[in-house]
Amino acid sequence: MTATADLTALPDEDRLRADLYNFLGVLLASPPDQGILDQTAQLQGDDTELGQGIRAMARIARSIRPQAITREFNALFIGLGRGELLPYASYYLTGFLNEKPLAQLRRDMSRQGLARSDTVFEPEDNIASLMEMMGAMIVGRFGPPVSLAEQKTFFNRHIAPWASHFFADLEAAEHSVFYAAVGTTGRAFMDIEGEAFRLSGA
């Protein structure tokens, strides 16, 4: 599918939000290759917690090799039988995979015109897919950009109840090195988004 929205009509803040959602989605979907690591190494951050997380990602990306980050990713998310973390809403909210949160997400995805790619076999409630969905809705990748009120509803229903907890677990995971910084970045971003939606009045 191709983008249909005019991105020049979006406020800079929304483009930056979408970019960060998409970037987190890419990093959490599969181990980043050298090209993505090179891009990450160029990132800059301020002295906020979010900025510090971004700076840490950039610093580690400058020295880590793709083979090492692949081993880290596999230990965290794949492992022998299962990885150290299970990055799914159903698991975090119910203790089991493929439960009610996934069914609710699929209904809301259908209403938004979103569907799982034929090349993706993981349940849709994994953290990488949810980050990608939020980015897509903000910029209108598959149709008109979604209103702030609809973004808030989706975020509060499918992301807010568990994503900060997941990112905190990722920060502290035994096998996290690069992904500890991803966890810091994601947790800080989720806190910012949650507070912004709370204050928006949407």
Other Cβ atoms within 10 Å of 110 Cβ, number: 10
**Whether pTM exceeds 0.75:** yes
Cα separation, 183 vs 161, in Å, equals 16
- Enter the tokens of residue 148: 């702030």
The pLDDT of residue 6 is 52
The pLDDT of residue 202 is 64
The pLDDT of residue 7 is 53
Q: Which CATH number fits domain 7-200: 1.10.3480.10, 3.30.200.20, 3.40.630.30, 3.40.50.1820?
A: 1.10.3480.10
The pLDDT of residue 50 is 98
The pLDDT of residue 64 is 97
- Enter the tokens of residue 76: 């965290």
Please, which residues have CB within 8 angstroms of residue 8's CB and are 6 or more apart in sequence? none
> Which stretches in the chain have pLDDT values below 70?
1-8, 80, 118, 120, 202
Q: Which runs of consecutive H residues, i.e. helices, occur in the chain?
A: 12-29, 34-41, 49-61, 66-77, 89-94, 100-112, 127-139, 148-154, 163-172, 178-200
